[in-house]
Structure 1
């Protein structure tokens, strides 16, 4: 009997092969989806808050969702890229403990997988611009998600299979921090699902515990055991992730984003935003506006 099942699924957004030059120079990019590159020629750099990594031929690179990074090419860079969304049964990202840029040596199978992904998904490049501030808008996401809905079952399944293979290349024990606390109890799964669907509502730990018919302290310990976070911290992180998504994909004001993500006022929103990300919403927005195009 199979006792282990995949909790994470990946949905294609874009895939293409492109030649880039010095115009590929973007700072403070943060995306609600994953980026995965295979470099076949030239050179470039990507870096996050702690690490600068050279982009060089023969290697794969992955940037998990909601990972703040910078992208740079001095003169020439040839790359295959794929961008995709993640969904998980328990609402916890596969890379929740690995929010950093990872690099591995590419294999022949990796190269074949990229070629096959392009072959079965034609016209899925970023046609308007390679500028994240232009193509990262909800309307563009919806266009590409509709393309997924039109795929045949064979193409949809093969695409997901290739994405799983490419992601698996970064899950080796020497580079991937895995903190699997075992099967998540139904009551905790229900709480996670409720949080994800109700970020705009009042989400007190007392209410969540009562909803699960558990004592508040026991609920908090059980929640931390299976998510790695206390409920309040987890709720704050999910609210700020949602806020980052709205800042990237909409023109909403801070007050509107605060309301949409369940904060009682913009001041409290700003306080938690800085606590989670290290930047105030204003400084984060200023850095985005200073991107060198």
Structure 2
């Protein structure tokens, strides 16, 4: 047997192919019965997919109201400021107010459908640069194929919602990728951003725990600080300072999701002067305090 080691990856063609690396990272996936869903001006640094099995849920983005239809999925891109409500029980005009329970196979589905909002949601990240696309809510038709995937996921979530088996993980990731592929080309503008901005973007991600200055970042791509700041704003539609703050808070949310680290520890890790400065920035970006986010009492 002759071992072939000169043809890259065993590809017999010499023509190079370029692929876009999508680094999907799942954060949560749940299936709940909601009695209350009054959430106002929420902004979070990750993607969401929402689906309601029954009618009565609403999403609001600025002046646009989306009456959630069971025949559609709703995708919310990172850093989108939006609000939610359940029309049968709408009591609050501000803040985050959620009440409900995880649906299990022991629950009578028909009973809960008549009195509550049956809500599927998943949170995830896609990696650089896809977690920095333009904010928005995207309505995607639930095809028969996607409906079959969704039935599988929701039925499995009734049985197990903690330690997921490999098959569930693969089908969930396949579902997410298929859903977001239907959004359309208008969303993916950031994959064509200037190479200099993308280089700095990646440097920020790799050094998010440091205090990063405009001059230091501009030097990476051999530009004057003011010129680079203008280029960054033109390409990303956000100032360099605000972008860094957003990414730090995004990292904080990730740490909250997967560890028991304290708020003080996270603020120190991410280069904030103290817990109070970190808390002010966190609330300014997400609309809620780090303590509330850490508690997990939101959807």
Range of TM-score over shorter length: 0.5 to 0.7
2:10 match: none
> Any conservation in 2 of the 1:27–1:291 contact (CA below 8 Å)?
no
Q: Give 3-state SS (helix, strand or coil) of 1:93's partner.
A: helix
> Any conservation in 2 of the 1:21–1:77 contact (CA below 8 Å)?
yes
| Deviations 1:126-181 (CA, angstroms, capped at 9, x unpaired) | 845xxxxxxxxxxx6xx55xx5xx459xx94x7655433312333375xx5x6448
- CA RMSD, aligned part only? 4.4
1:12-31 mapped onto 2 (5 Å cutoff): 20=33, 22=35, 25=37, 27=39
**Bigger shift: residues 192-201 or 57-66:** 57-66
Q: Give 3-state SS (helix, strand or coil) of 1:200's partner.
A: coil
1:253-264 mapped onto 2 (5 Å cutoff): 253-264=262-273
Q: Structure 1 residue 56 and structure 2 residue 69: aligned?
A: yes
2:145 match: 112
Residue among 176, 179, 187 paired with 1:163: 176
- Output the TM-score relative to the length of structure 2: 0.62
1:132 match: none
What is the total number of aligned residue pairs between the two structures?
257
Structure 1: stretches of 5+ with no match in the other structure: 129-139
Residue among 162, 186, 192 paired with 1:182: 192
> Any conservation in 2 of the 1:184–1:226 contact (CA below 8 Å)?
yes
* Deviation at residue 61 of structure 1 after TM alignment: 1.5
1:123-142 mapped onto 2 (5 Å cutoff): 123=156, 127=160
| Deviations 1:39-62 (CA, angstroms, capped at 9, x unpaired) | 443433345676553333322222
1:72 match: 86
- The 1-side partners of 2:257 and 2:39 are apart by 13
> Any conservation in 1 of the 2:39–2:85 contact (CA below 8 Å)?
yes
Q: Structure 1 residue 97 and structure 2 residue 97: aligned?
A: no
* Deviation at residue 35 of structure 1 after TM alignment: 2.9
* Deviation at residue 247 of structure 1 after TM alignment: 4.8
* Deviation at residue 196 of structure 1 after TM alignment: 1.1
CA, structure 1 residues 151+168, in 2 after alignment: closer, same or farther (shift >3 Å)?
Answer: same
1:212 match: 221
- The 2-side partners of 1:180 and 1:290 are apart by 30
- The 1-side partners of 2:262 and 2:63 are apart by 30
- Output the TM-score relative to the length of structure 1: 0.63
- The 1-side partners of 2:29 and 2:281 are apart by 35
Residue among 184, 193, 201 paired with 2:210: 201
Larger Rg, first or second structure (1 or 2): 2
- The 2-side partners of 1:159 and 1:270 are apart by 33
* Deviation at residue 208 of structure 1 after TM alignment: 1.9
Residue among 279, 282, 296 paired with 1:273: 282
> Any conservation in 2 of the 1:195–1:235 contact (CA below 8 Å)?
yes
2:231 match: 222
